[in-house]
């Protein structure tokens, strides 16, 4: 079983939509028994809450239902998940800090990376999934478009890397 954890600051905007979008791509390829995903926050601002209402509304407009409850990234996650996927550089710094405090090492790039690494439309200076929290509805749609493109390419990588058919 390949396990993927999507991480953002509060686990209420970017990482829950990334998680569910990726899950739908996995389901479309009938790989639910081989690939599992979850999401988490680097900060505990919203523990136990549903995703932001704007994220849920955007997800619903694409036929997705977000029922995930916010949780914080833990030291145990580094031994459970094969890939820990951050949304921006700030998240990556916090992921590495949590990793170092929990297990005494920084995670290698093969395990811990920015999600837009797999976005075919990403440019060198646009490698982050932007945080829509202080934005408008169109910002939530942009996040959906980015994570949807990234999900497809990341899933292809996992299929090849882990010899899944």
Answer yes or no: 8 catalytic: yes
**Separation of alpha carbons 25 and 35, rounded Å:** 11
Selected catalytic residue, list 8, 13, 70, 112: 8
14 is annotated as an active-site residue: yes
Pairing type for strands 2-8 and 83-86 reads: parallel
Partners of residue 38 on adjacent β-strands: 5
Q: What is the DSSP string of 24-63?
A: HHHHHTT-TTTEEEEEEESS-TTTTPPPPHHHHHHHHHTT
Which of the residues 13, 14, 116, 119 is marked catalytic? 14
- Active-site entry in 38, 77, 119, 131: 131
Residues designated as active site = 8, 14, 131
């Amino acid at each position: 079983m390949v396990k993927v954890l999507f991480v953002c600051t509060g686990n209420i905007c970017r990482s829950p939509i990334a998680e569910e979008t990726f899950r739908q791509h996995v389901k479309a390829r009938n790989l639910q028994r081989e690939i599992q995903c979850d999401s988490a926050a680097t900060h505990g601002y919203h523990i136990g809450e549903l995703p932001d209402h704007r994220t849920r509304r955007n997800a619903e407009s694409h036929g997705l239902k977000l029922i995930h409850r916010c949780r914080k990234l833990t030291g145990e996650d580094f031994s459970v998940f094969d890939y820990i996927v951050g949304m921006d550089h700030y998240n990556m710094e916090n992921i590495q800090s949590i990793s170092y405090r929990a297990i005494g090492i920084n995670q290698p790039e093969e395990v811990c990376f920015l999600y837009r690494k797999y976005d075919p439309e990403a440019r060198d200076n646009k490698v982050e999934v932007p945080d829509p929290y202080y934005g408008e509805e169109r910002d939530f749609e942009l996040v959906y478009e980015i994570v949807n493109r990234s999900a497809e390419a990341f899933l292809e990588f996992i299929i090849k890397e882990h010899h899944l058919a």
